[in-house]
Structure 1
Amino acid sequence: MFNGLFNLEGKCAVVTGAGRGLGADIASLLAQSGAHVYLLSKDAGKLDDVAARIHRNGGACTPVVCDLLKDDQLERAFDDLPRLDILVNNAGTNIPARLADVTTRDLDFVINLNIRATFLATRAAVRKMLEGEATDDRVIINISSQMGHVGAPDRSVYCMTKHAMEGLTKAAAVELAPRIRVNTVAPTFVDTPMTQPFFENEQFKSWVFDRIPMGRLLSSDHVAAAVLYLASPAAAMITGTSLRIDGGWTAQ
């Protein structure tokens, strides 16, 4: 009974930003749990590496080269799916800077990937999900951040986009119930290739660890486990919620 609650056998999932780091680990765990995972990234070589890892572990996946900032590629990626049960909007970025120093180019890039692409992928996924027979076990999971609940210096744009993601999640959850559940996973800083350069700055490292009561960074495996939980039948009555895995950061 317990194991069955986390069984994704027969499900079709899409993970954006699946070519490395957190996205790759999420895709791997979903595949390990029985889903056929479509891996979306613009980097074909990295997709092949992730696909090979999944296949070695007995999972099923299909790499899909897709630049989410190009609308035609995004739409085609979802149109070509045979069906869709689970979407994980994982692709995102951050370009830290003091607010007064943020360039318009960086502002547009972060907004376009973190908000616009997430919205368009969600819209395409909802259209695909609603094509099928009426069931209530389809799921959208947005990878947000603790910064979707608080503020921080040098992260005005990132915080803005993650707050927007939390708002989209709540609105979509209300509109799409009961057929589609929509939630976010909101991690603290995760040890990934994207965050590692930040922690070379000792001042920044101290600032982060001083705000995490648990006293350590989050592993990508724990984020993937949270995604699996929200994607699974175990979370059948959870929608419009943000699952914060932040070591207590936002409890203060």
Structure 2
Amino acid sequence: MYIIKLNAIDSTNTYLKALASAKLPKDFTVVVAEQQTEGRGQMGTLWQTEIGKNLTVSVFKKLSGFKVANQFYISMVVSLAIINALKTLQIPQLRIKWPNDILSADKKICGILIENVIKNNEFQGSIIGFGLNVNQKYFDDLPQASSMSTLTGVLYNKDEVLSKILKQLQFYFKLLESKKYEVLKTEYESLLFRKDKPSTFRTSDNAVFSGIIQGVHKNGKLKVWTEDEIIKSFDLKEITLLY
């Protein structure tokens, strides 16, 4: 494992992408920044973070020969690794809000952005970015956001938290490389936020409907039992789960 620590950077994912475009980094190359000026979330959203209070990290994982069709399992691996690391720190009521936001007590404490490196139509690896709210106390205009410290009252050592996450990432990627797909999918689905509960969704054209999350397909699409008693599948761009 090779760790690069930076004071300030536009985005740790962008930094690793630049490295990968020239030459693939070593497996489990880790970039950690105290400040990210242009941190990104899913679908181009900005990730807001207070300087020095949180973990903003990207990890390069070599995955030569991995099938592009199975890429959602990478998202499952990362979500499960972070959740299991946080469990060892007694963070309460951990859940995964589809596809890969990490919630504690229904508040978002971690966002994940995965960008795959594909050259000549072949999978080379993944750049796994995550922003974890560790010791930040205030979140302006973000009522659904929280942090580990806010939830528990404990001030955390960020290096210790990162070490636990990296250890879990290694464990879960071994499961993936051993093709334990059903094991990963079953554990992921067991932690889905609002699974088997009536929930409200908004479509991309702003229509609102009710349904019950049943699970996910291996391609990452969400399975929702809808009001007309049909199980429908939705992509990330098609619906948003409302709190």
Shared fold by TM > 0.5? no
Of Structure 1 and Structure 2, which has the larger fraction of its residues in strand?
Answer: 2
Of Structure 1 and Structure 2, which has the larger fraction of its residues in helix?
Answer: 1
What TM-score, normalized to structure 2? 0.30
